[in-house]
Structure 1
Amino acid sequence: MTKRSIVYIDGFNLYYGALKGTPHRWLDLQKYFEKLRQDDEIKKIWYFTAKVTGSPSQRQQIYLDALATSPLVEVVFGLYKRKTLRCKVKECQYQGNKEYKVPEEKKTDVNIALQMLDDAYQGACDRMILVSGDSDLVPAVNFVKKRYPQIEVIVYIPATNRKRGAATELRDAADKDKTLPLKLLSKAQFPEIITLASGQKISKPDTWI
């Protein structure tokens, strides 16, 4: 019997775990998961991310525009902030300001957890496909399994390292766990040029080739 499935994607986790530095960043999420889960009836693909700042923001917006052409994909935004850290290397001889800023994504794990719980409560699916390696999502998976044991939770870990040691806590919490198949990425790319609903044409960013 075909299972109604909903996909939950941690966008930054997917990018840094499986896409960064590859020619596969122009990924058609709907096409990819329809190939990956051919026996499922995919009802929805939730893509959780945050709008970045600086030079990458234009490339990200082009990709978000491309995703908007996929009927099953809906984007949920968290926050992208810069957190101030201080160098703690004892041997450091630098006499200037030792504080520096690093990017930090906020709210994505909370947004994913809330959406999973809402979909479970609504009876929207028989199976949840979670794409992340973030252990902060373990409580959400455990809650779904406890309150809605009829829903199967499958975790795909985005990682170039295929050893099971990665994201052990999240793997153990799920009913099934897999490493995201990288070979499918090249077979699920958007066309080089996409025509948006407005008639505007967009194309894959040059640096993503």
Structure 2
Amino acid sequence: MRVAFVVDGFNLYHSIRDAEKLVAARPQRWLDLSALCSSYLQVFGRTATMEGIYYFSAIAKHLAASKPDIELRHQAYIDALKSTGVHVTLANFKAREKFVPLKYCRFRIGRWKRRLRVPIPRCSLSYIKAEEKETDVAIASKLFELLHRQTADAVVLISGDTDLLPAIRTGRALFPGAEIALMFPYNRHNAELKRAVAKSFKISKEQYAKYQLPNPVVLPSGHAIRKPPTW
């Protein structure tokens, strides 16, 4: 059986951040996805083989002002993943203006700990929020591509995001002969997602520490990719 893994990068990243608070071996963001996913192949039988690992994420360039090295850190990790054969697809963050009615807002003045409500009707507070765009659609598209081209007999989605439910249900309806499974990142389990598939399993917080890339990752050219020192 040929097994493909499709990774929701940000869902996994925030799971790792949760695990880092509880496991002594930290940080754990230098995760070896190839080793982690390979350890689950046996779930699909002795003859299961790796078709590919597909990692989807976006670089948070909008945070560069407050975290100048954030882009370099993520790019170093992406380069390290690619060196192990992981296929990387990057989306974008887009700024979006949002509005919140003042009656739902609470304001804090200086050191005064009490928060004031301002129940002014028909008035809203606007703010700009950067949102990750295209990733969910890209993951769903990869799922359908793998099943349609019959390049994988089983596709494992690594995510706990319920936005992927429509893609899972449609995939199972259109390709009943294929298997769609879920691998929940630590602290990202979802009962509704679990009911949508025939097979699911969880990543324990200890597994992040167990499967780490070497530091440095040395490419065939001799170039070394080093783990960011602040991780």
With the shorter chain as reference, the TM-score category is 0.7 to 0.9
Q: Which residue matches 1:14?
A: 12
What is the CA-CA distance between 1:13 and the residue it aligns to? 0.6
Ranges of 4+ aligned residues in structure 1 off by more than 4 Å:
none
Q: Which residue matches 2:174?
A: 147
Q: 1:4 to 1:59 in 2, by over 3 A?
A: same
Q: Which residue matches 2:219?
A: 196
Secondary structure of 1:75's partner? strand
8 Å CA contact 2:16–2:208 kept in 1: the answer is no
Q: 2:83 aligns with which of 69, 79, 101?
A: 69
- Percent identity between matched residues is 31
Q: 2:57 aligns with which of 24, 41, 49?
A: 49
Find the aligned partners of 1:102 and 1:20 in 2 and give their Cα distance. Answer: 23
8 Å CA contact 1:153–1:174 kept in 2: the answer is yes
Deviation string 1:112-150 (CA, Å, 9 cap, x unpaired) is 111111111111111111011111211111111112111
> How many residues of Structure 1 are paired with residues of Structure 2 in the alignment?
200
8 Å CA contact 1:154–1:174 kept in 2: the answer is yes
Q: 1:92 aligns with which of 107, 113, 119?
A: 107
Larger-gyration structure (1/2): 2
Moved more, 107-116 or 176-185: 176-185
Letter in 1 for 2:32: D
Letter in 1 for 2:89: V
TM-score by length of 2: 0.78
Mapping of residues 142-181 of structure 1, within 5 Å: 142-160=169-187, 166-181=189-204
Deviation string 1:75-111 (CA, Å, 9 cap, x unpaired) is 011111233334544442679x954333311111100
RMSD: 2.2
Q: Which residue matches 2:40?
A: 36
Find the aligned partners of 1:101 and 1:167 in 2 and give their Cα distance. Answer: 30
Q: 1:138 aligns with which of 154, 162, 165?
A: 165
Q: Gapped runs of 5+ residues in structure 1?
A: none
8 Å CA contact 1:18–1:160 kept in 2: the answer is no
Find the aligned partners of 1:178 and 1:59 in 2 and give their Cα distance. Answer: 29
Find the aligned partners of 2:129 and 2:94 in 1 and give their Cα distance. Answer: 8
1:82 aligns with 2:95: yes
